[in-house]
Structure 1
């Protein structure tokens, strides 16, 4: 039994004054109207209508129930209208957690476009490279980069990002250019603290994996610091193209060993549940996919592997 549907039929019968007139108004059969009324009376354990061969009338219980039904149906219709409007015009605070380098280099440039499209959403963006608990810490959404193993989240890929091995021209002029991954063992390699394992860089060529143990004078949890250090000639780095792409295109960094493939990272939007996904989360995830996509601008013009 659909309670609200039966209530609608009951109200229509009361308004029309007969079962057949209600059936015509609702464009359903007479037996369907009779069944809805019978189901409703059985559910309530009360008679709502007095029926004769010529007319129907409301019982005292039916009269009281009619007014309550009108109000409930009005409230339901109003709630559906508000929900529909909210889906089309999202509003409220959207709390987002984003890795530092990705946010500074790329998210900031597209946020004004989202704000212009959805002016009733207030963006509350927290920058952190640590993995936060979205539910416990009250986030609606997080941008995650890399492998998301063992996490009970709904994820949607919004873009890829190549991992590039590169160094500044000054470093290469002084220390030479590696010709094979194993040569990296004799170079200064600057490491990202959250990579796993931190002191091992892996490359792929012709279906074979080459693992190289690296060492250097800098470990940090920030990719932009590694980029600046490499530009200044401190050593070789392995960082995502969304961090170093502009510098490779401009010649501030030189891409090394392009024939040896490093991994391609995936950039994800992650949120706690697919059920009852709010309009503000849905529109923001769709927006990120639209802005970045399968061929993001940060990979354009880079040497092919």
Structure 2
């Protein structure tokens, strides 16, 4: 008796609720499925199923065996899929959801390079700053930034995301450079509409306490617009370095109050838990995991502030 075949027969009977349905799902005869289960019980020395003319029920031993058998079969199938994937190129449509600013700045070359390696994959990249329901909306992968709440989704950490407070040198010459948080009260704040209310850090707490009670000078739901406005001298802005790094590297913007830079948040690739992850998704997750570097390339020209976080 092949132990794996017998194990598959038993798991199928439990999942389907009958020998005939299990036989249909496995492409076997009900008699052969019954023989497999009987031989398995004989080998284990215990009854796994209670059989009557009308129904099949699982014994206590069968319930315990079912849990472990299912895990073993899942591992075997996943390994087989991975080994098979090594011999085959991924193909099909890969649907990705990503934040607008991040995708515009850092996913053009990524998707180009990914498709050079895997030309049989068609990419459907949709940009949206809201958190899409990847299952309901049919996405294979979603890129998300921030601290994720617990869910049934699997999240792979891709890169740290620094967030800095910055302003144009011209603006600071005209209005002065703040050296304390309280001095920000005398300055114009360019506010990101989607700022995470649960974000932690001294600078976040200060801005939430002040600017959610009073009117900000300027609101926008797009970080690129805010960084461009800050570069034009409109005020100061709190934005991730993956958006502001070019302006910071050229001196169009400079960091202010670097001692209050919050702990980095993270970029994640999020996908649904599946028994067998499609090969195209696995290849994309592996590809993006190493693509941006450590630290990510957009941070290499951005100076670190003195660390006196409270």
TM-score (norm 2): 0.68
Question: What CA distance in whole angstroms lies between the structure 2 residues aligned with 1:144 and 1:3?
Answer: 43
What corresponds to 2:202 in structure 1? Answer: 203
What corresponds to 1:191 in structure 2? Answer: 191
What corresponds to 2:144 in structure 1? Answer: 144
Deviations 1:69-110 (A, max 9, x none): xxxxxxxxxxx7998258741100000000000000001122
Q: Does the 8 Å CA contact 1:162/1:240 hold for their aligned counterparts?
A: yes
What corresponds to 2:91 in structure 1? Answer: 91
RMSD: 2.9
Question: How many pairs does the alignment contain?
Answer: 234
Deviation of 1:145 (Å): 0.1
Deviation of 1:201 (Å): 8.7
Instruction: Tell which structure's C-alpha radius of gyration is larger.
Output: 1
Q: 1:86 to 1:251 in 2, by over 3 A?
A: same
Q: Which structure 2 residues correspond to residues 94-173 of structure 1 after superposition, within 5 A?
A: 94-173=94-173
Q: Does the 8 Å CA contact 2:161/2:264 hold for their aligned counterparts?
A: yes
What corresponds to 1:298 in structure 2? Answer: 298
Q: Does the 8 Å CA contact 2:85/2:279 hold for their aligned counterparts?
A: no
Question: What CA distance in whole angstroms lies between the structure 2 residues aligned with 1:156 and 1:81?
Answer: 20
TM-score (norm 1): 0.69
**Equivalent of 1:43, from 26, 29, 35?**
35
Structure 2 alignment gaps of length 5 or more: 7-30, 37-79, 306-310
Deviation of 1:247 (Å): 0.8
Q: 1:152 to 1:82 in 2, by over 3 A?
A: closer
Deviation of 1:289 (Å): 1.2
Q: Does the 8 Å CA contact 2:81/2:276 hold for their aligned counterparts?
A: no
Q: 1:201 to 1:193 in 2, by over 3 A?
A: farther
Question: What CA distance in whole angstroms lies between the structure 2 residues aligned with 1:109 and 1:81?
Answer: 29
